[in-house]
Chain A
Amino acid sequence: ETGVTQTPRHLVMGMTNKKSLKCEQHLGHNAMYWYKQSAKKPLELMFVYNFKEQTENNSVPSRFSPECPNSSHLFLHLHTLQPEDSALYLCASSVPGLTLPSSGNTIYFGEGSWLTVV
């Protein structure tokens, strides 16, 4: 069981659709992240939020729009995606400004949302 929950676990959408991915963490963290994992590529950091404020946008196309209404919830709104956006989207959380390595602290991932754009 994970302290970071993502829904939906699987999503198939057309290029003209609008959908959203949801992430919820039950760990009392205040930093949340979106990562993208494509086949045969390393995890790519997309966005970082600290205390609901976006602190990093890793040059992500505007067709991906994050939203963080509070420290426990994070959304990724998707619109007019391309087939190459098909990937595993992972949400993660941590203590803000987590200093690594730190005993007992790390970055925790949700199980991910498998996205297929057709």
Chain B
Amino acid sequence: RKEVEQDPGPFNVPEGATVAFNCTYSNSASQSFFWYRQDCRKEPKLLMSVYSSGNEDGRFTAQLNRASQYISLLIRDSKLSDSATYLCVVAHTGTASKLTFGTGTRLQVTL
């Protein structure tokens, strides 16, 4: 079983739609959770951290379910510029060197 699993997609959605991605992780000792965004042929960039209580940043909402070992990312009112690959990232310690990346979920927002 992969440490971090994501549906690779692609998710094709029209502008303005709401889309949700899920990610599951296998290590129950995981402590830190993140969503990164990676544009085509670019480097990954931190989108948002995921906190136990859930957190929101504008149109983006992240949720963590420790019991079921999954995290989610919800994007509301999708924009064309949201088209990218979204990487689920988990760390089983508090340090950056222990980040484990998922393969990513590709989102394509269309007119």
Residues in chain A within 8 A of chain B (CB atoms): 2, 31, 33, 40-43, 45, 48, 55-56, 90, 94, 97-101, 106-107, 109-112, 114
Contacting residues, chain B, for A106 (C-beta < 8 A): 46, 96
Q: A110 near B43 (CB under 8 angstroms)?
A: yes
Q: Closest CB-CB distance, B26 to chain A, in whole Å?
A: 13
Q: A42 near B103 (CB under 8 angstroms)?
A: yes
In angstroms, Cα B91 to Cα A45, docked, is 12
In angstroms, Cα B32 to Cα A99, docked, is 9
Q: Closest CB-CB distance, B53 to chain A, in whole Å?
A: 13
Give the interface SS of chain A, mostly helix, strand, loop or mixed. Answer: loop
Top 6 nearest A-B pairs (CB, nearest first) are: A109-B43, A101-B49, A98-B96, A43-B101, A42-B101, A100-B32
Q: A99 near B94 (CB under 8 angstroms)?
A: yes
Contacting residues, chain A, for B51 (C-beta < 8 A): 101
Q: Closest CB-CB distance, B59 to chain A, in whole Å?
A: 20
Chain B residues numbered 82-111 whose CB sits less than 8 Å from any CB in chain A:
87, 91, 94-97, 99-104
Q: B97 near A45 (CB under 8 angstroms)?
A: yes
Q: Is B42 an interface residue (CB 8 A)?
A: yes
Residue of A45, A48, A99, A112 near B43 (CB, 8 A) is A112
| Apart from A100-B99, A111-B42, A112-B43: 5 A-B pairs, beta carbons within 8 A | A33-B97, A42-B87, A45-B99, A101-B49, A101-B51
Residue on A nearest B48 in the bound complex, by CB: A101
In angstroms, Cα B102 to Cα A101, docked, is 18
Contacting residues, chain B, for A107 (C-beta < 8 A): 46, 96, 99
In angstroms, Cα B95 to Cα A90, docked, is 18
Residue on B nearest A41 in the bound complex, by CB: B103
Contacting residues, chain A, for B94 (C-beta < 8 A): 99-100
Residue on B nearest A111 in the bound complex, by CB: B43
Known: A97-B95, A99-B94, A101-B49. A42 touches B100 (CB 8 A): yes
